[in-house]
Amino acid sequence: MNEDQVSPIPTPHSLRSRRRLHMVDIARLAGVSASTVSRALNGSPLISAETRIRIEELARSLNYTVHTAARNLRSGNNRTIAVVVPYQTPARQHISDPFFLSMLGSLADSLTDQGYDMLLSRVDAERLAEAAQLYESGRVAGIILIGQWHHHDQLNELAIKNIPLVVWGALLPRQLYCTVGSDNFEGGKLATGHLLQSGRRRIAFFGDIAFPEVAQRYQGYLQAHQQFSLQPPSELLVKTPFLAAGVREIVTYLLSHKHGFDAVFACSDLLAMTVIGALGKHGLTIPRNVAVVGYDDIALSEYFPPSLSTVRQPLEKGGQMLVNILLQQLAGTIRPQSVVLPTQLIVRESSQSN
């Protein structure tokens, strides 16, 4: 362009044909500064009513809307909360897992009630620091993390960085971050005690005790045995992830190696249901041959054949507490405390006495 050439003033027709309209375009058409346009579209009292109406009508004619997220970042009025569901690369537990769906539903309802939006995200459990980027970039006001996995130290590091964070998980020693979770120890004790009172004596525990929540359930399992002056056989501690993959092979291995059992306490309902299916393949009847108790009380457990005995986690209450504690952190009014919610044994057909 030559020095004597002047850039043409954009027309409404030419702007409509553009893929994205910028505030500076509105300003040039209105003959004002971009900051004046910004103030007018955000209702600032510094702008006269006549100028505001003129700018609003021009913006409306061009189908221009204010980018709410960007405005919130500039003003510090961010109303979005990240709900992060970590995954382990080898297993990649699906977000369609009924436990996750129940928790996400509770969180979505609670956030909506408080006037917040939810941003759902997944991060590799080995790189939980990536979750911090959602906050540090300004995209969200705080983070709710569903599951500790075995990354207690990483979560402490996030807390040290003063990132607004609350975690669904177990309360652990030397914990710097806030957690909300069920009483896993009591839940494991209730489930195992019920099976022992029913006369079962070889109770297999299905779960990976590398995870804090499962480890606490296993401690409850051991405590219930101690109260009956029993020592559970070591071969009946079955290291199994929350995913059901490989359960059939594990059940086959136990039965073929004569590691007989007359009951199963599984660390999730889906795992318990998979165990029941695997036992059925071997001609075993539930609960006559093997009694089974799960954990979570997902909606399907009541209707699964046979209906599944389980330990109920108060997921609806848990979602509400996660949101409330995070909002307390954002308000900075009080120092939030971790919460341990009570569990309840729900006895159904899969463990009822004959």
DSSP of 60-126: HHTT----HHHHHHHHT---EEEEEEEE-TTT---TTSHHHHHHHHHHHHHHHHTT-EEEEEEEEGG
Task: Return all residues near 12 (Cβ < 8 A) that are at least 6 apart.
Answer: 29, 61, 62
As a whole number of angstroms, the distance between CA 137 and CA 156 comes to: 20
Q: How much is the average pLDDT of 160-182?
A: 93
Residues 55 and 40: beta-carbon distance below 8 Å = yes
Query: Using one digit for the tens of pLDDT, what is the confidence trace for 221-258?
Result: 999 999 999 999 999 999 887 666 688 888 988 998 88
Q: Residue 278's closest CA among 295, 264, 268, 267? A: 264
Output the CA torsion 199→204→208→209 (10° steps): 50
* Range with the poorest average pLDDT among 55-64, 117-126, 275-284, 334-343: 55-64
> What domains lie within the chain, and their CATH numbers?
12-66 (1.10.260.40), 80-182+315-342 (3.40.50.2300), 184-313+345-351 (3.40.50.2300)
> What percent of the chain is predicted at pLDDT more than 70?
87
* Strand 344-346, strand 309-312: pairing: antiparallel
Query: Using one digit for the tens of pLDDT, what is the confidence trace for 47-88?
Result: 888 898 888 888 888 877 665 545 555 455 788 999 998 877
Provide the pLDDT confidence category of residue 92 given band limits of 50, 70 and 90.
low
Confidence at residue 49, expressed as pLDDT on a 0 to 100 scale: 87
92: left (phi over 0), alpha (psi -120 to 50) or beta: left
- How far, in whole angstroms, is CA 316 from its chain's centroid? 12
Q: Say whether pLDDT at 93 is over 70.
A: no
One-letter amino acid at 108 equals: A
Confidence at residue 242, expressed as pLDDT on a 0 to 100 scale: 63
- Burial track 86-120 (b if 16+ CB lie within 10 A, e otherwise): bbbeeeebeeebebbebbbebbbebbeeeebebee
Q: Say whether pLDDT at 172 is over 60.
A: yes
> What percent of the chain is predicted at pLDDT more than 90?
54
* Range with the poorest average pLDDT among 97-101, 129-133, 201-205, 268-272: 129-133
Provide the pLDDT confidence category of residue 5 given band limits of 50, 70 and 90.
very low
Q: Residue 80's closest CA among 326, 332, 336? A: 326
Looking at every residue in the chain, the average pLDDT score rounds to: 86
Confidence at residue 266, expressed as pLDDT on a 0 to 100 scale: 96
Confidence at residue 4, expressed as pLDDT on a 0 to 100 scale: 41
User: Which is more confidently placed, 132 or 324?
Assistant: 324
* Range with the poorest average pLDDT among 91-100, 135-144, 268-277, 296-305: 91-100
Q: How much is the average pLDDT of 7-29?
A: 60
Q: How much is the average pLDDT of 98-124?
A: 93
8-11's contacts with Cβ under 8 Å and 24+ in sequence apart are: none
Residues 155 and 148: beta-carbon distance below 8 Å = yes
**pTM for this entry:** 0.78
**Burial class (CB within 10 angstroms; exposed 0-12, middle 13-18, buried 19+) of 313:** buried
Give 295's strand partners. Answer: 311
Task: Return all residues near 133 (Cβ < 8 A) that are at least 6 apart.
Answer: none
Query: Could you give the C-alpha distances from 26 to 72, 88, 204, 211, in angstroms and in order?
Result: 20, 48, 70, 55
239: left (phi over 0), alpha (psi -120 to 50) or beta: beta
Q: How much is the average pLDDT of 152-164?
A: 88
Q: Residue 244's closest CA among 280, 291, 276, 210? A: 276
> Greatest CA separation found in the chain?
98
3-class SS at 305?
Answer: coil
Q: Identify each DSSP E strand in the chain by its residue range.
A: 80-87, 117-124, 142-146, 165-168, 178-182, 203-206, 237-238, 263-266, 291-296, 309-312, 339-341, 344-346
Which of 157-161, 248-252, 318-322 ranks highest by mean pLDDT?
318-322
Query: Could you give the C-alpha distances from 55 to 8, 39, 71, 212, 276, in angstroms and in order?
Result: 20, 10, 18, 57, 67
User: Which is more confidently placed, 157 or 19?
Assistant: 157
Residues 270 and 207: beta-carbon distance below 8 Å = no
Confidence at residue 130, expressed as pLDDT on a 0 to 100 scale: 80
Residues 311 and 343: beta-carbon distance below 8 Å = yes
